[in-house]
A and B are shown apart, each in its own frame.
Chain A
Amino acid sequence: MRLTRRDALLSASATLFSPLLPRMSFAQETPRRGGVLTAHLGSEQRILNPALRASTGVYLITSKIMEALVDLDPNGNPAPVLATGWEATPDGKAVTFKLRQGVTWHDGKPFTAADVQYTAMEMWKKHLNYGTQLQQYLEAVDTPDPHTAVFRYSRPMPLNLLLRALCDLGYIAPRHVFEGTNILENPANTAPIGTGPFKFAQYERGQFIIAERNSSYWRKDFPYLDRIVWRVITDKSAVAAALETGQIQLSSYNGLSLSDLDRLKEDNRFEVSPRGIEANAFNNTLEFNTRRKELSDVRVRRAIAHAIDVEFFIENFLYGQAKPATGPIPSSSPAFYPDGKPPYPFDIKKSAALLDEAGYKRGADGTRFTLKLVPIMNGEDVPLLATFIQQSLAEVGIKVEIVQLDIAGALTTVYRDWNFDLATGWHQYRGDPAVSTTVWYRSGSPKGAPWTNQWGWQSDKIDQLIDQAATEIDPAKRKSLYAEWVKAVNEEIPVWMITERQFFAATSKQVRNHHNVPRWDSSDWHDTWIAAS
């Protein structure tokens, strides 16, 4: 068999996607204390408080300063951070967290269950995006003693869902700083106070943020680094230059352009890989507005999917940094991934046949009908995919007009005004399908809620599956419910998950113990160090 470039790329990405590589060990090296790690920051955040804003951009900075109850271990299982143990009652309606003792906030006050109670009830339940949904049925947090917090729910809460979600949605803020103030306007939102290995030091808008070593951190003798600096660089080409000149040592979440990632892969000063970002998989999507008569016919939706050569797109536009998706649950999520093949392989004859069957014959000019496509600019590949879709669909006689808007404009147009026929953007998977994935398919989402089912499409069967799985406390049963659900939504495709992708980071090889946990860029970096140059 001849090995083509495509084969090489596909097998390369298969290895990259093999779930959760073991923690890299540098046992032969003694960690060096001291030094400064400078990381890239692509866009500035309005608020630096992960208990109020769930976003990778916020975690990138604040996860070093504030801490969550749990985080993921190298194998992707929940590991203790501020919580040392957890237990759920058999009915799933109460979850007890044992909290770490002897932890102090950066201002010297002790960390207790009162902080957990306050953060959960006042921040996660009231303000935190995705947290408000996760904690919808949270009734109270009891604090029988200063180191125990009992979460009481009115409906069963699967422990695994809660633990996985809490890695992102479980950051604790200091009660004594926020209580009695206007939470959204508290100055600690831009000068965070936490329990983490680094203390917030300085924020120069438009330039940099600095955090300094916390010498009284609860993990004795950690962290290794003296200081972390985040440099604001908005231009992607400038990020590559900053990496190459050593101004920064790290850029994650595709902070570099796809072409620079591809180029730096060959450069032995850097490691370019999705390792340590597995927990944040994403898909290129195609959303159908089924209010449009043609698109309400599932045969037309399937025909459109069959008309697009996904592998060609991946190889030529994404530099092979993806693979065709098999459904809304990515293969990097072993706890839920049901296995399977891409449901709609490229087949232009089948596509044309389906369209004929649905009754949309080619007109005199070869066109069957015209659709309006709104790209939602999550990344540089979105406009490329929009053009690729336009050209692919022209082949089967569907004319596509692309409406270019910036992301705020596109979100409004698609999700609030429903003024689209097709839309394309990203779906981000957040560790558990119940966090931000099933909302793409569940009916009843209020008009205007972005990245939810606004397609004018509804299925009782799928709604039921989603609701059942969300409260099922047996992990094995949950997994099989989601497998059934994936099968059903693949049949119906109100949204088509086109590619399955992972974010890539480019890291200088001087940095040690990097990307050794599945959400490393959003973890605390307590064991990260820098080798002498």
Chain B
Amino acid sequence: MMRVLLLALRRLAASLPTLFVLLAGLFLLLQLAPGDTVDALVAQIGGGDPRMIEELRQYYGLDVSVAVQLGRYVWRLLQLDLGFSAIYGKPVSEVILERLPATLLLMGSALSFAFAAGMALGVLAARRVNRWPDTLISTLGLVFYATPSFWFGLMGIVIFAVKLGWLPAGGLEEIGAGYTGLRRVADIAWHLLLPTLTLALIFLATYLRIMRASMLEVMNLDFVRTARAKGLSPRRVITGHVLRNALLPMVTLVGLQAGTMLGGSVVVESVFALPGLGRLAYEAVVQRDLNTLLGIVFVSALLVILINFIVDLLYARLDPRIVT
């Protein structure tokens, strides 16, 4: 256990310089975008006079040079202060913490679903390779992969919410219903069903292809032939020998996609009106809210580091040859 903790700390320490460079680079990059958060505000409220605009620049600390702004930002960051959100007028850490649960819930459930379904379908396709179930599964995977997620989401809403009335059209939960406990859990699950499926379908294809290829590869290895030769049933061969070995590339992929999923959910969050980090990031860019945007990058980076760390631990469990 101690070793795991040490490893975690070492990982984090190694990532810190990268994270720091990333944040400073992003700060400078965003300076290249024309307009600042006051322009965005003035655009939103439909105009204002120059004196008021000047006052607002002062209020948001934009009346000083970029170097000074960057200096102030870095200094605050060193004190673990992410600053103030221009959009919400609250500390960035608070704004992000409010959004984190919805994002994690959506991401977690979509990722789990994509992983589980991808694995199952991949195994199925590999066992019936080049026969009709394989062709069907592979084709479906391609279709899901090629379809934009907003279209999936909207079609899901049109069919299941507007036409059939089975599922809610959007939102995280019933507003003002005052549900508590299990009733609330069920309500949120109900609302997240469509968004989770929408997000998961895109990723499903990748998992399914990887699983299929990896299964096929492992099935041709010597130890599988040995297992078969010693008289194990095909089911035992698959579950006991092939599956475990074929899972390694899948686990790698989870680590890689965790980052993508955070960003990839902007569209799904907008279509389903979910209060997640993706939409917050989008809003922060449009409103030129630097602090919020950098805060999100910071939190996302931490999440990715964490997930990759867990992936590393999983490797070790799945394949004892890999020593942590």
User: Within the complex, what minimum Cβ distance (angstroms) separates B290 from chain A?
Assistant: 12
User: Within the complex, what minimum Cβ distance (angstroms) separates A235 from chain B?
Assistant: 4
Q: Is B192 an interface residue (CB 8 A)?
A: no
**Would B279 and A241 count as touching, CB distance under 8 A?**
no
Which residues of chain A have C-beta atoms less than 8 A from B280's C-beta? 206
Residue in A47, A56, A189, A450 whose CB lies within 8 Å of B42: A450
**Would B35 and A409 count as touching, CB distance under 8 A?**
yes
User: Within the complex, what minimum Cβ distance (angstroms) separates A42 from chain B?
Assistant: 11
User: Within the complex, what minimum Cβ distance (angstroms) separates A200 from chain B?
Assistant: 14
A287 to B200: give the CA distance in the assembly, Å: 46
Q: Is B231 an interface residue (CB 8 A)?
A: no
**Would A412 and B87 count as touching, CB distance under 8 A?**
no
A205 to B89: give the CA distance in the assembly, Å: 11
Q: Which of B42, B53, B165, B280 has the most CB of A within 10 A?
A: B42
Residue in A205, A229, A450 whose CB lies within 8 Å of B98: A205
Contact residues, B68-99 vs A (CB, 8 A):
86-89, 95, 98-99
User: Within the complex, what minimum Cβ distance (angstroms) separates A163 from chain B?
Assistant: 21
**Would A407 and B40 count as touching, CB distance under 8 A?**
yes
Q: Is A296 an interface residue (CB 8 A)?
A: no
**Would A245 and B39 count as touching, CB distance under 8 A?**
no
Which residues of chain B have C-beta atoms less than 8 A from A436's C-beta? 46-47
**Would B42 and A411 count as touching, CB distance under 8 A?**
yes
A47 to B59: give the CA distance in the assembly, Å: 14
**Would B48 and A130 count as touching, CB distance under 8 A?**
yes
A36 to B158: give the CA distance in the assembly, Å: 25
**Would B168 and A245 count as touching, CB distance under 8 A?**
yes
Q: Is A286 an interface residue (CB 8 A)?
A: no
Q: Which residue of B lies closest to A448 (CB)?
A: B50
Which residues of chain A have C-beta atoms less than 8 A from B48's C-beta? 129-130, 132, 449-450
**Would A58 and B50 count as touching, CB distance under 8 A?**
no
User: Within the complex, what minimum Cβ distance (angstroms) separates B240 from chain A?
Assistant: 47
Contact residues, A410-426 vs B (CB, 8 A):
410-413, 416-417
Which residues of chain A have C-beta atoms less than 8 A from B197's C-beta? none
Q: Is B175 an interface residue (CB 8 A)?
A: yes
Given the interface contacts A46-B41, A449-B50, does A241 sit within 8 Å of B176 by beta carbon?
A: no
Which residues of chain A have C-beta atoms less than 8 A from B273's C-beta? 207, 231-235, 238, 242
Q: Is B286 an interface residue (CB 8 A)?
A: yes
Q: Which of B41, B46, B172, B280 has the most CB of A within 10 A?
A: B46
**Would A233 and B170 count as touching, CB distance under 8 A?**
yes
Given the interface contacts A210-B176, A241-B157, A412-B35, does A46 sit within 8 Å of B46 by beta carbon?
A: no
Q: Is A406 an interface residue (CB 8 A)?
A: yes
Residue in B44, B49, B86 whose CB lies within 8 Å of A133: B49
Q: Which residue of A lies closest to B156 (CB)?
A: A241
Contact residues, A148-166 vs B (CB, 8 A):
none
Q: Is B275 an interface residue (CB 8 A)?
A: yes
Which residues of chain A have C-beta atoms less than 8 A from B55's C-beta? 127
Q: Which of A44, A229, A410, A412 has the most CB of B within 10 A?
A: A412
Q: Is A428 an interface residue (CB 8 A)?
A: yes
**Would B36 and A408 count as touching, CB distance under 8 A?**
yes
**Would A241 and B169 count as touching, CB distance under 8 A?**
yes
Q: Which residue of A lies closest to B40 (CB)?
A: A408
User: Within the complex, what minimum Cβ distance (angstroms) separates B152 from chain A?
Assistant: 13
**Would B286 and A406 count as touching, CB distance under 8 A?**
yes
Q: Is B34 an interface residue (CB 8 A)?
A: yes
Q: Is B245 an interface residue (CB 8 A)?
A: no
Q: Is B161 an interface residue (CB 8 A)?
A: yes
Q: Which residue of B lies closest to A416 (CB)?
A: B39
Q: Is B316 an interface residue (CB 8 A)?
A: no
**Would B51 and A46 count as touching, CB distance under 8 A?**
no
User: Within the complex, what minimum Cβ distance (angstroms) separates B163 from chain A?
Assistant: 9
Q: Which residue of B lies closest to A230 (CB)?
A: B175
**Would B275 and A204 count as touching, CB distance under 8 A?**
yes
**Would A130 and B175 count as touching, CB distance under 8 A?**
no
**Would A57 and B39 count as touching, CB distance under 8 A?**
no
User: Within the complex, what minimum Cβ distance (angstroms) separates B318 from chain A?
Assistant: 38
A58 to B273: give the CA distance in the assembly, Å: 20
Q: Which residue of B lies closest to A36 (CB)?
A: B176
13 residue pairs from A and B, CB less than 8 Å apart: A36-B176, A45-B44, A55-B46, A57-B44, A129-B45, A204-B98, A210-B176, A235-B271, A238-B270, A238-B272, A241-B157, A245-B161, A247-B170
Known contacts A206-B280, A232-B273, A233-B170; 11 further A-B pairs (Cβ under 8 A): A46-B86, A128-B52, A206-B98, A210-B176, A231-B175, A234-B270, A234-B283, A235-B273, A407-B43, A408-B36, A412-B36
Interface residues of B (CB under 8 A from A): 33-37, 39-53, 55, 59, 86-89, 95, 98-99, 150, 154, 157-158, 161-162, 165, 168-172, 175-176, 270-273, 275-276, 279-280, 283, 286-288
Interface pairs A-B: 8 shortest CB-CB? A206-B275, A408-B35, A129-B48, A55-B45, A409-B34, A408-B40, A412-B35, A408-B39
